[in-house]
Structure 1
Amino acid sequence: MTIQAARPRLTTARLTLALLTAALALQTLAQAQGTPLKVWTRSVGTQQDAYKAIGKAYQAKTGQAVEFTFAGTDFEQRFARAIASGDLPDVVVNDTAQLGNLLSLGVLLPVDRSKVSGNKDIVAAAWKSAQGVDGKYYGVPSSTQVFELYIRKDWRTKLRLPLPRTWDDVSKMALAFTTKDPDGNGKNDTYGMVIPGSTTRGYASWFLSTFIWQAGGDFVQPAGNGTFKATLDTPAVATAVKYVRSFICNKTAQPNAINAVTSDTAPSFYTGQAGLYLTGPYQIGTFDKELGKDKYEIVSFPKGPANSDALAEGENSYIMKASKQPQNALAFASFLASPEGQKIGMTYAADGIVVRLPINGKVNAAETRNDPRWSSIQAVYAKNGHTVPNVPNWTPVRLLTGEGFNRILSRCDSNVEQELGTINTALKAELDKQKVLAK
């Protein structure tokens, strides 16, 4: 008689546990073999090369490859499709002003600031840009910037004009650049101020913000208990809007100002169409290459009626809630914020920098680039940088004000105060929708 050993019964519970253990083992093995970290960035041209260089450096440090997806002006549309299909990346590097929008979509994973390697080296102002209205952090800062006035130095010198010290000086320079043939070609083909006045992504609002603050106005004002009062219907805001509109109505702005986006306005400056441009330092590499650093200069925009504030913004590395490797995602965000990551982003591609001003206190912009111009830019950020108001979701505010400002800029005979009243009413409705309107 043959006696067979009894076989253990594989219960459903044990089978489930065995399958789960195997799946976790496979996942661990896949990560050990370097499952790529998926990262999306808003970047074009050589900016993409800079990010690839950061990815290679991160891989050399950690052993994990980075799979990038790049997009430009259609970033939001592609991101919306990814949400709908459930195919989100691990990390999204995007504007600081997008924080509220991403939170409203429910896609962000909170960040424990204490677990970010080198977190104490990241400057406080940058950390603030990654903080929600609930006080929690939802990203790791990666870059920041501040707006200054770029001037065709060769034009200014030819016309023997001093550097502008007031808003009125800028207007006079714009008129001279338009009417006095600063390029000496004998043609009436130059203009003064470059204006991105399009409604796309709220560019008109984005451009006007510096002037609104310098005039002493604002979009909203805190009213206590996390609420805000809409304040676009004030004399200060009207002063700012009228000032910017004067360039268009006096025909001292480039002809397509009303419909222009930033991809249009940068060439307007470096090809010699117009000689004044309020913009960020991300353009320096392109202007040096296409125009030559000896032909233009960078100065703080002259003080307005109230102050010298200038738009300051930047980018954060946002970690997606859907990420299956959040620890690795945080490690990449930390690396991008580290001195090594910052320096690669600042220097890899001169005309495609992805770290404009460093958010890491151990990194000096001028020394890293061996370019003293960056010292003044970093100083303006520290002294006069002004970020957008901390409403829960700034994106719809920028879009609705961009539409309204564009309407005002395009009609030289419209009543600015009346139009601002209409925009302010729409802003109140948006604040009410976000449940932060002061009653």
Structure 2
Amino acid sequence: MKKGKSALVLAAVAMLLLSACSNGRTETAKENGSSGKPAEAKTETEAGTAIDPFRLPELVEVSTIKAVSPNERMPQGDTIEDNLYTRYFTEKTNVKFKYMWYASGDDYTQKLKLAVASNDLPDTMVVDERTFLELAAGDQLEDLTDVFQKYASDQVKQIYELNDGLSLEKATIDGKLLAIPNIVPKGDSFQEVWVRKDWLDKLGLQPPKTVGDVEKIAEAFIARDPDGNGKNDTIGLPGNNGVVTTDYGWNYDFKALFNAFGAYPSIWLKDGSGNVVYGSTTPEAKQALGKLAEWYKKGLIDKDFALRKNPDELVVGGKSGIFFGPWYMPFGTLTNAMMADPKADWRAYAIADDQGRYNATVVPPSSSFLVVKKGFKHPEAVVTYFNFNTRFLQTPTPDDKKLDQTYVSLRPIDLNIGDPDAVLKKHEMIKGAIEGKLTPDQLSPEMQGHLERWNKYKADPKANIGEWGPPYAYLVGGQPMADVKFNEVYSLYTATTKTMEKRWSNLQKLENETYFKIVLGELPLDAFDSFVADWKAQGGEQIIKEVQEAVQK
């Protein structure tokens, strides 16, 4: 099987994304103001029979499997197979799911592997990318190209358009749509530098724009007593004791710095010659490591970061006024910091490289795939269910809202799609409302709630400090996404090769240990070259070949 990358395949993907208005069969989705339900006109089959994208004309049974929590909660008298969600979804869609089996944790994983190996598959199921590609290579999946075009709701198609067809392209092989993919929001990809602006103002410093600015601020925060207590007790940057850097970023790791050097650890890229390389082994990654080792030697990074179990304590305790982290830090850590010091003024900024670009390793557009077994007679039932599930989550009707959300995990199939730029758009909503450019009724229900929290906090900050975090995360944590255009770098390959299955764990251990030792000064920077050679010799070279082959198909 070959992954479709040609113009022909891209054209096919584009066709999937077209509004179903071709040949005058459908109308553009419109919002029903009274119920929140998209008012979609029904499409028509070739025979002229109307298609309701949310309900089949007759009951269809569909077999599936389900991963469940070992402590799954459900109303008294309900079961995994028969509960308030399965009954409601069947009533509304005329699609009835029957479980071949369900399991938890490793038991689920092992059962799924056996089912794939023996081709004992349900009619539909959600799988990861590796399993999806394995099923596709084994010709075990139904081609959904036509059925998706005909039965997918306008709402579903419009959501997929939001990430420029990347998700549908990821599910397309040899020009055939072989799965319905999820959409992964990319807001968490953009690691920012959080800084106490009140400390900047006190010391006469400007907000950071570059790696050099971060260095100067860290030096000043250590040496110039920004908290004014007359003690030499402040530090520069906290670190993460689990990783130096990652593909998509953890709290307190240094991914933003690596990206500012044009380095993209833990993902697959092409070098200047068009050859596949692993981002943790590039010259740019070595440069970034050198800068970190320099910072650590100068004392700009917490000297105990490799051992410290909870770097939050430095921020919450007022010892650090600058750190790398994602937009959502106010949800927990910074709320606690504000409770300890309500006068702190935390701001978030993006860091540019030496050419003024804002680079970011971006999460894959999709990670889960709803597949249909080849030969299943009613694939339209799966698409109909997916239409309803999407509407249920995105624009619930009054009836939908009556269901107890405590038990939403009991839905037969759990695969979600949404706006990949949701964080940015929510930022724009709450900022617009606070500035008076939008009225509360122009906000989504979620953002109306956050606006209420913000207004409550502003009315009495001391009494309502607990309301500060969520709206502030969108308002300020989302600001860098509005201020700059990120150079979004995606991994060429996000599945697993045969050699990865055997060698990847050891290779990751080698990488993490080497990175830490270089930063801590236990190894010289030139040890990076030996690491790259060892990494290749211990399986990396073969993995590169396998990835190269996979991305060329």
Q: Give the equivalent residue in structure 1 for 2:158.
A: 120
Q: Give the equivalent residue in structure 1 for 2:516.
A: 409
Q: Give the equivalent residue in structure 1 for 2:322.
A: 276
Name the CA distance, whole Å, in 1 between partners of 2:224 and 2:171: 50
- The one-letter amino acid of 1:173's match is I
Name the CA distance, whole Å, in 2 between partners of 1:375 and 1:227: 35
Cα distance change, pair 405–237 in 1 and its aligned pair in 2 (3 A):
same
Name the CA distance, whole Å, in 1 between partners of 2:126 and 2:421: 17
Asked if 2 retains the 8 angstrom alpha-carbon contact of 1:199 and 1:406, the reply is: no
Aligned residue runs from structure 1 range 31-430, under 5 A: 79-86=105-112, 100-101=129-130, 103=132, 114=149, 115=152, 117-125=155-163, 127-128=165-166, 131-132=169-170, 135=173, 139-145=181-187, 146-199=190-243, 207-218=253-264, 220-222=268-270, 228-230=276-278, 233-258=281-306, 264-266=310-312, 268-287=314-333, 289-292=335-338, 295-304=345-354, 307-313=357-363, 316=366, 318-319=368-369, 321=371, 326-327=382-383, 330-331=386-387, 334-335=390-391, 338=394, 358-359=420-421, 364-367=426-429, 368=443, 369=447, 372-373=475-476, 376-379=479-482, 383-393=485-495, 400=507, 403-411=510-518, 412-420=521-529, 422-423=531-532, 425=536, 427-430=540-543
Asked if 2 retains the 8 angstrom alpha-carbon contact of 1:149 and 1:300, the reply is: yes
Cα shift at 1:277: 2.2
Structure 2: gaps (5+ residues): 1-58, 70-83, 93-103, 116-121, 406-415, 430-442, 452-473
Asked if 1:431 corresponds to 2:547, the answer is no
Name the CA distance, whole Å, in 1 between partners of 2:491 and 2:242: 21
Q: Matched residue of 2:240: which SS?
A: coil
Name the CA distance, whole Å, in 2 between partners of 1:295 and 1:58: 48
Name the CA distance, whole Å, in 2 between partners of 1:185 and 1:82: 56
Name the CA distance, whole Å, in 1 between partners of 2:417 and 2:482: 16
Name the CA distance, whole Å, in 1 between partners of 2:419 and 2:239: 23
- The one-letter amino acid of 1:179's match is A
Cα shift at 1:281: 1.6
TM-score by length of 2: 0.51
RMSD of aligned alpha carbons: 5.3
Cα distance change, pair 429–222 in 1 and its aligned pair in 2 (3 A):
same
Cα distance change, pair 430–187 in 1 and its aligned pair in 2 (3 A):
farther
Asked if 2 retains the 8 angstrom alpha-carbon contact of 1:100 and 1:132, the reply is: no
Question: Which stretch has the larger CA shift, 364-373 or 383-392?
Answer: 364-373
Cα shift at 1:415: 3.3
Cα shift at 1:29: 9.6
Percent of aligned pairs with the same amino acid: 14
Asked if 2 retains the 8 angstrom alpha-carbon contact of 1:181 and 1:190, the reply is: yes
Asked if 2 retains the 8 angstrom alpha-carbon contact of 1:192 and 1:253, the reply is: yes
Cα shift at 1:298: 0.9
Name the CA distance, whole Å, in 1 between partners of 2:287 and 2:324: 18
TM-score by length of 1: 0.62
Paired residues in the alignment total: 366
- The one-letter amino acid of 1:299's match is Y
Name the CA distance, whole Å, in 2 between partners of 1:172 and 1:223: 32
Name the CA distance, whole Å, in 1 between partners of 2:356 and 2:184: 31
Asked if 2 retains the 8 angstrom alpha-carbon contact of 1:310 and 1:386, the reply is: yes
Q: Matched residue of 1:415: which SS?
A: coil
Q: Give the equivalent residue in structure 2 for 1:47.
A: none
Q: Give the equivalent residue in structure 2 for 1:17.
A: none
Asked if 1 retains the 8 angstrom alpha-carbon contact of 2:244 and 2:516, the reply is: no
Q: Matched residue of 2:206: which SS?
A: coil
- The one-letter amino acid of 1:390's match is L
Q: Matched residue of 1:249: which SS?
A: helix
- The one-letter amino acid of 2:517's match is S
Question: Which stretch has the larger CA shift, 360-369 or 419-428?
Answer: 360-369
